Amino acid sequence: MKALGVAGAGIGGAAMIAPTFHDLDELASSGELQKHPWYIKERERLDPTPEIDWNVIHRYDRRYMGQCSNIRAKYYGKAYVEKIDAESGALQAKRMKDNVPGFGHKWEALRSALSQSNRWSVSFLGPEVDGKINVTTPEGLGVPKWQGTPEENSKMVVAAIRLFGMAEAGFNNLDSTWRTKLVAKNEKGSATGAKYIDTDPADVPASAARPIVYEDVAEPYYTKEKWVVPTKDLNVMYLGGPEPRETDRTYPSRMSKSNLVANSGIRNIAYYSTYQFFRALGYNMFGGTGHGTDCFNTPGVAVFTGKAEAARMANWVISPAWGPRSTDLCQITDMPLAETHPIDAGVWRFCQTCGICADSCPSKSIQGLDAGEASYEMPPINGKPDTQHVAGIKRFYYDGSGCRNYVNEAIPGSGCSACAAYCTFSTGSGAIIHSVLKSTISYVPVFNGFLANMGRTFGYGAFKDPEEWWDSSLPQFGINSTLTAEDGGYRK
């Protein structure tokens, strides 16, 4: 490592361009709660590291998601899809009764314990109890609506959401570009179900995948056949935090889809608490939450608000702070907020020379190094044109149907997450490669290939036996909650 100039005093080339601070007061003088490390560069608004053709990109129609039964049948055959779906429950039950490592009785108990239920349910307008939303308001408190500058409000929100369980927040104005290009065309709803396996996606009814529309109204509302976003000035808000890394590493197991862990508890708490916080201040927050049940493709919002970069694996993005697995949610609000912009931490460049996620993908659903460079051209899926993606982004492509079929056939009732488990950015800040990688890839990309191969050499990734998880001494909730903390001595 020292011979290559990426270790030792100054970490080689990275040290030559690191900023110099004369004292700790100067280092902390900005007063910001969300500081980028020195090696992360902020880009212009709506200018992420992958190239985008804004004349081509358009709102995504979730009726064409790779997970939809009709889309899976289109690429891999109806008989095959129906067969693996029908057999998945029995396979799951047999593995539990046979006490297969990763799938036995105690694993099923652990999975069941995380499947929390709430008195409230998610709606487009917020958490509802028996169809009603109950909130504290400024009027009820006997005070006027909170008034602050966008900068003051943003800082206040970041402080609050960290108490509620999230780590970072990103903001952007919901302008015409967002409304016509980045807001999803509809919710996922029940469009993924077997009921529509013989239905053309374009013919799946609005009642199954309610369209998101704009109207000149004072407040958002919803019906059985649409979600309505007001045309007035609004902002997009992204909230994100790390998910348990070691549950990914149990792949294959009943716990190897770690968003089950975080999304069952932490995200629900954060969503409910943030909503109540906004309403008590006198502001609205809406948009639903959950996989395919909000107004955005959430990973993209993380990229456009500067909380992550695009990745080769494409189904997830990568946070420079914690890697590819986030518990996150996106909302729309009328609170004035200061915009955050896309970043360049070198992650996207690194992914182009790495390919570990593709190598580890058991269903070969991720494009590997043999696919060449990122492209605007979508390759066919199993010999048929790709309709799973929106055109206009220069990227690598992910076969959502192939991934879902593999999960249903090989690890039913769970998830795969092999790509996340093996990703170099999932190794944790204590790993040798990780301590060097972050500050090196941004400014010394010549070492990217070497660092990617180090990930292979050191054998990061899934446990050899998922039962190792039970012997691991891990933090509360399975996450490092100090990753974004700068005060209080938490990162000593």
Is residue 319's pLDDT more than 90? yes
Q: What is the C-alpha separation between 59 and 464, in angstroms, rounded?
A: 42
Q: What is the C-alpha separation between 407 and 361, in angstroms, rounded?
A: 11
Question: Would residue 383 count as lying in a domain?
Answer: yes
pLDDT tens for 412-445 read: 888 888 999 999 888 765 444 455 666 666 556 6
Contacts of 139 (CB under 8 A, 6+ apart): none
SS3 237: strand
Is residue 483's pLDDT more than 90? no
CB-based contact 19:146 (threshold 8 Å): no
Q: What is the C-alpha separation between 258 and 250, in angstroms, rounded?
A: 10
Helix (H) / strand (E) containing 281: helix 266-281
Question: Would residue 27 count as lying in a domain?
Answer: no
User: Mean pLDDT throughout 285-311?
Assistant: 93
| pLDDT score, position 250 | 93
Q: What is the C-alpha separation between 186 and 59, in angstroms, rounded?
A: 9
Angle at 428 between CA 425 and CA 429, to 5 degrees: 105
SS3 381: strand
Q: Write the CA distances from 317 to 125, 243, 291, 323, integer angstroms.
A: 27, 13, 15, 8
Question: Would residue 347 count as lying in a domain?
Answer: yes
Give the single-character DSSP code of 324.
S
Question: Would residue 311 count as lying in a domain?
Answer: yes
pLDDT tens for 370-396 read: 999 999 999 999 999 999 999 999 999
Is residue 258's pLDDT more than 70? no
Question: Would residue 16 count as lying in a domain?
Answer: no
Question: Would residue 64 count as lying in a domain?
Answer: yes
Backbone angles phi, psi at 91, to 5 degrees: -65, -45
Question: Would residue 12 count as lying in a domain?
Answer: no
SS3 242: strand
Q: What is the C-alpha separation between 478 and 44, in angstroms, rounded?
A: 35
Is residue 266's pLDDT more than 90? no
C-alpha R_g of the chain: 23
Cα torsion for 410, 411, 416, 422, to the nearest 10°?
A: -70
pTM (predicted TM-score):
0.89
pLDDT tens for 31-80 read: 578 888 888 999 999 999 999 999 999 999 999 999 999 999 999 999 99
| pLDDT score, position 227 | 97
CB-based contact 40:320 (threshold 8 Å): yes
Q: Are strands 212-215 and 226-230 parallel, antiparallel or unpaired?
A: parallel
Cβ neighbours, 10 Å, residue 57: 16
Is residue 348's pLDDT more than 80? yes
CB-based contact 341:238 (threshold 8 Å): no
Contacts of 54 (CB under 8 A, 6+ apart): 177, 181, 392
End-to-end CA distance of the chain: 26
Q: What is the C-alpha separation between 47 and 37, in angstroms, rounded?
A: 19
Structure tokens at 477: 């909730």
Q: Where are the alpha helices (DSSP H) in 282-428?
A: 298-304, 347-353, 356-360, 400-410, 418-422
SS3 240: strand
Q: How many domains does the chain have?
A: 1
Residue 266: give the domain boundaries: 46-478
Residue 284: HSE in the Cβ half-sphere, 13 Å Cα cutoff: 18
